[in-house]
Structure 1
Amino acid sequence: MSARPYHHGGLREAMLERAQATLRDSGVDGLSLRELARDIGVSHGAPRRHFRDKGALLDALALDGFRRLGEILGEVASAESPTFAETLTDVAVAYVEFATANPALLELMFTSKHRADASVELHQAANASFDRVAALVKRGQVAGELVEGDLHQIGLLLLATLQGITSLANTEMIESTELGQLTAYSVQSLLLGLMPRDSARKPLSSPTSTDR
């Protein structure tokens, strides 16, 4: 059987698409440039025009993952919703849906980002994907919906909550049908705790070594 021809640029996209499917089904250990080449019908050496080795392929997958996540969160965050709470809830649900649909990819994204040799491009894509959420949190503060405080700390609190829900879903401790309701309830509870109060409008302080 002859290898299928690819027009310029087509092979890279085909490799990434197939690699994403393999990552979902078999994890990082199941990925191989040779196997991917066979699956899409090209010579064993063809993928090296775009990926010098498996590590380069993994980096490309992580980069693409952050870009896709950023597009999803940005689109939801910019959509018109009646209230700030509804917008934040929609963003949270979108994140959890992405994370539970792509658990192996999400793990790869974060581990790749925190490698010592992670590229500047990967860091920029990762930061950009969460900048949309930070901007939304800032909007909430300006509108008086959230207590003033460190955007990074508030963002980490939100991310920790969503990662916890994702972990429960990915380990089948909760049903997929519960995800939307649990995420919405968690965001509502979080907002209740972060709501400005007449008796306590001081900005949130960052944790210190003496905090308990």
Structure 2
Amino acid sequence: MNLALFDLDNTLIAGDSDFEWAQFLIAKGVVDREIQEAKNVEFYEHYKAGTLDIGAFLEFQLAPLTRHSRQELDAWHAEFMDRHIRPIIGEPARALVRQHLDAGDLCAIVTATNSFVTGPIAREFGIPHLIGTIPAVDLKDGTFFGTPTGTPSFQAGKIVRVEQWLEALGLWWGSFGSTSFYSDSHNDLPLMKQVKMPVAVDPDDRLRAYASEMGWKIITLR
């Protein structure tokens, strides 16, 4: 059995699901456009530079979830999938995932974006496992608290979360004939270096340069 891991934003989808969710909420009038867009630009610049404060980012991104019932959020998410996500899922990405699933590989999306936003996207791809940042939630009614729980799935934290997931399945890195991870971002270099077959997907400039130097495979899904 092989292991296939996929980053989500700007890898399997041609955009950023966090950003798209924010744009959806802006269009709904749920959050202030000027504040939301300014903070998104600020955080994204830090992300590109590799200096993102993941705690501050998650506090900002999770805050809107606390202001509405889970039923309302779930209904909005179904609309969000139709308007913002399915249009940015290309057939090459779906085909890549199908290839690994049909081969019997153990597949998971590994993303820093929170699991409320990304869970339905993973299901859209038919990927059975999601390793995302987990928002703290009231288990009685599904209300979000606005804070993450556990280790955020970001940079080296992705290795921590993948290893915790594998351990829960009674597996470890050595359980697989081959391990692969597909990503677009230099922020994912820790996990890319961990697997046997790292693949740069429409990579940013820093990842492209590193992947070229190391002889890693570089592909496009656009």
Structure 1 length normalisation: TM-score?
0.32
Q: Going by fraction, where is helix more abundant, 1 or 2? A: 1
Greater Rg, structure 1 or structure 2?
A: 1
Task: Determine which structure has the larger strand proportion and give its number.
Answer: 2
TM-score normalised by length of structure 2:
0.31
Higher relative contact order (CA 8 A, sep 6+): 2
